[in-house]
Structure 1
Amino acid sequence: MPNSDLMPIGVFAQRSGLTSSALRFYADSGLLPPAAVDPVTGYRYYAADQLARATTLRQLREIAMPLAGVEAVLDTEVEEAARLLDEHVAKIVGDAAAALQKAAVIKSALGADVPSLLIATLKGPVLADAVEQVLTATAHEPGMTVLAGLHIEASHEAIALTATDRYRLSTRTLVPPEPPAQTWAGTVNGDDLRAAVAEVRRSARVHIEAVPHGVWLRMPEREDRHCRLLSEDFPDHRLMLASLGEATTRATVSKDPLLRALEEHPGERIALHVGDHGVNVRSADEHPGIPLPATVTGEDLQIRFEMTTLYPAVSTAIGPDVMLDLRGHDRPVTIRSADRGDLTTLAMPIKFDHSAGERQRGTS
């Protein structure tokens, strides 16, 4: 008989979260053999030091890892196990995306008479670039799925793509070779668009068609891609843009030196000191920073940002020079190309609360 330090299969099942039948299966498959088996009764007993392996086994099966993969993860080094896990999850995500696309194709075939509306026809590489640039302003937040989407508005003149994570808002306007015949607006699932970007970029022309609950990206000589619509209302960004007011300070600075200064900055927060002598990139604690030549008009200004807000806004700007329109230390800053206005980003600053001794998001 096994000693008192061993647990019968029922107790081990409760502690590990595995059923007794699952433990018998994993014992027979060699993944988790019992520490001892009573030769008379055939009862199986497990040791306490087997709990960790049993728990990991259960967790791996909960994410649908096949038995061969489970065995490989359990019996290898930590680094290799992590790689195998990443590989498995990537396959699941890829399979899910493929299933979504196939389901959309099947639904389209089942409802061949579902009306579609041609929104616009755009050059594939141009659309892909615009989608990637604007999607940098999205965020996945519980209870606010719309922040992970890209809002598309079609007027009779152009197509506007807009996204916001509440601290940053990016919008780009594209003018199709032929003006859209219809007006339309909807918020498209950002993850679906990311998955489609590579194919869009390789297509000379992309026809964007709206259907109930989604849009189709129709690409001649390539597989069409379906992107879901989000039902939640997109924030009223037009009201925000209309309420910005005039800039009190404008600075035009070379994009690459500004990006290098931000990359070399060691902290999570950045301060810009804008004045007659240019733009100085400093730490938020006022230590000397990196001076950059710039053309500045208007009032001198000191303004602070989170690095995760300012850097993407500058890096996605089009062209060699970036124009910053500033309205005060606690107001949104407009960041755009100095010579092309079709991509515009609003970046929210942070403010320093001297009484609390901590930095907070600015308000608009």
Structure 2
Amino acid sequence: MHEHLRGIGAVARESGLPVSALRFYDAVGVLRPAWSDPVTGYRWYSGDQVGQAALVARLRQVEMPLADIAEVLASRHRSAEALTVLDRHLRELESRFAAARKHLSDAREFLADPPATRLEVSAADLAQALAAVRYAVGSDPAWPALTGVLLDCSDGVLRLVACDRARLAVASVPVRHLGGLPVQVVVPLAFLASLLDRDGDGDGGGGGDSSESDAGGEEPLLSVELRVDRVVIGDAEGALVAAEPVAAEYPDYQALLQATWVRQVRIPTSDLVSRVVDGPPGSIEGRPAVTRRPDFVAVLLGDHGVDVVQPSVPGAVAFDRAYLLEALAAAGGDDVVLALDAARQVLGVARPARPEDRSLLMPVRLRP
């Protein structure tokens, strides 16, 4: 019975269609073997089917859809009908090739002249956002991206981000007249600071919302143009200041912001600052006082408040004292919200009115 039939391995070698593909086309009914052993399931093909398999192999190379392959096989003895299917697929390939050429041409233009994202922001808003994050800008030359401020324009908001690997600060700025694609660029801190200092807003605090107008009733606006190779900021008088972005990739700060906050406590800012400055009580449960360390502070977040305690207190987490005070100063406002991440014990510091603007502090690992 098998004298004039070929096994699946031989058909694969002669046709160029892999064994796995022959099994697939059998399963979907496109190319069924002449006979399958009912006991072993082994497939046997006729000589004519070897030619069909070779035809299928060529049609696969040009990514012809399965339905069209089946149509070609069914009409292979009616060449006019089969050629109609081939011509239809050729026109589809030519259309896709033309679209691919257009996309590659656009990509070339993008690389040669990166598109600009343009927007306007309040000068006061930008100054306040910078004041809220600049304390967390890094200075380690081994991490050049962290020595600048990330400008992330997406979702209709301009975010300023600073990180020195021990802390992260994010502040958002409302935008107007936004046009262009989402973009991220890292600009030198000195560029932003000098620009805002020139306009007299560089010393603004992180607290409060900028809703006041200048003496003329008009809120000073800055025009901003963000490109991957250049940042240009101009004022109402038309003066332009440009800077070259830092040529380094910024870490995924959004991933760092994703946390499971197990405790969130609102507390008056001045009260917490006093506790952090004064430090914990000198003794606990009758034990001798622990020598006060000026460099860190242990914080215990409870259901109804925040306590500065000895580091030996169960549940307390230690943080750099100076970093925490800077984060509180940058947050500003009458109240502040502290939150603790369950997994990493990262401390979040935010203003109640702007929970999306947050500072993160990494814990201090104390040696026993």
Please give the TM-score of this superposition, normalised by the length of structure 1.
Answer: 0.56
Structure 1 counterpart of 2:321: 307
1:325-345: per-residue Cα shift (whole Å, max 9, x none)? 112495212110123224211
Does the residue aligned with 2:186 lie in a helix, a strand or coil? strand
- Among candidates 204, 216, 223, match of residue 207 of structure 1: 223
| AA in 1 matched with 2:296 | R
- Kept in 2, the 8 Å contact 1:124–1:201? The answer is no
- Kept in 1, the 8 Å contact 2:347–2:360? The answer is yes
| AA in 1 matched with 2:164 | D
CA, structure 1 residues 328+155, in 2 after alignment: closer, same or farther (shift >3 Å)? closer
1:217-241: per-residue Cα shift (whole Å, max 9, x none)? 1112263222330011101112222
- Structure 1: runs of 5+ lacking an equivalent: 1-113, 287-299, 355-364
CA distance in 2 between counterparts of 1:261 and 1:180 reads 46
Does the residue aligned with 1:248 lie in a helix, a strand or coil? strand
Structure 2 counterpart of 1:153: 152
CA distance in 2 between counterparts of 1:123 and 1:339 reads 19
- Among candidates 326, 330, 336, match of residue 340 of structure 2: 326
CA distance in 2 between counterparts of 1:156 and 1:280 reads 37
Q: Which moved more, 1:202-211 or 1:305-314?
A: 202-211
Structure 1 counterpart of 2:128: 129
Structure 2 counterpart of 1:66: none
**Pair 1:344 & 2:358 matched:** yes
Across the aligned residues of Structure 1 and Structure 2, the Cα RMSD in angstroms comes to 2.7
- Give how far 1:143 is off: 1.6
- Give how far 1:181 is off: 4.0
- Kept in 1, the 8 Å contact 2:138–2:162? The answer is no
- Give how far 1:118 is off: 4.2
Structure 2 counterpart of 1:140: 139
**Pair 1:191 & 2:190 matched:** yes
| AA in 2 matched with 1:275 | G
CA distance in 1 between counterparts of 2:311 and 2:343 reads 13
Structure 2 counterpart of 1:280: 307
CA distance in 2 between counterparts of 1:329 and 1:258 reads 24
Structure 2 counterpart of 1:268: 295
- Kept in 2, the 8 Å contact 1:188–1:214? The answer is no
- Among candidates 254, 258, 267, match of residue 253 of structure 1: 267
CA, structure 1 residues 178+248, in 2 after alignment: closer, same or farther (shift >3 Å)? same
- Kept in 2, the 8 Å contact 1:303–1:328? The answer is no
Does the residue aligned with 2:133 lie in a helix, a strand or coil? helix
- Give how far 1:209 is off: 1.0
1:58-93: per-residue Cα shift (whole Å, max 9, x none)? xxxxxxxxxxxxxxxxxxxxxxxxxxxxxxxxxxxx
- Give how far 1:213 is off: 3.0
1:275-322: per-residue Cα shift (whole Å, max 9, x none)? 256322245477xxxxxxxxxxxxx83111011321111111143111
CA, structure 1 residues 200+215, in 2 after alignment: closer, same or farther (shift >3 Å)? farther
- Give how far 1:125 is off: 0.9
Structure 2 counterpart of 1:216: 232
CA distance in 2 between counterparts of 1:276 and 1:115 reads 51
Structure 2 counterpart of 1:167: 166
CA distance in 2 between counterparts of 1:318 and 1:254 reads 10
CA, structure 1 residues 221+116, in 2 after alignment: closer, same or farther (shift >3 Å)? farther
- Structure 2: runs of 5+ lacking an equivalent: 1-112, 202-218, 280-291
CA distance in 2 between counterparts of 1:153 and 1:323 reads 24
CA distance in 1 between counterparts of 2:228 and 2:362 reads 35
- Kept in 1, the 8 Å contact 2:230–2:244? The answer is yes
Does the residue aligned with 1:341 lie in a helix, a strand or coil? strand
- Kept in 2, the 8 Å contact 1:156–1:181? The answer is no
Structure 2 counterpart of 1:237: 253
**Pair 1:226 & 2:242 matched:** yes
Instruction: Report the structure number with the largest CA radius of gyration.
Output: 2
- Kept in 2, the 8 Å contact 1:168–1:345? The answer is yes
CA distance in 2 between counterparts of 1:115 and 1:220 reads 25
Figure out how many residues of one structure are paired with residues of the other and give that number. 227
| AA in 2 matched with 1:235 | P
CA distance in 2 between counterparts of 1:329 and 1:268 reads 24
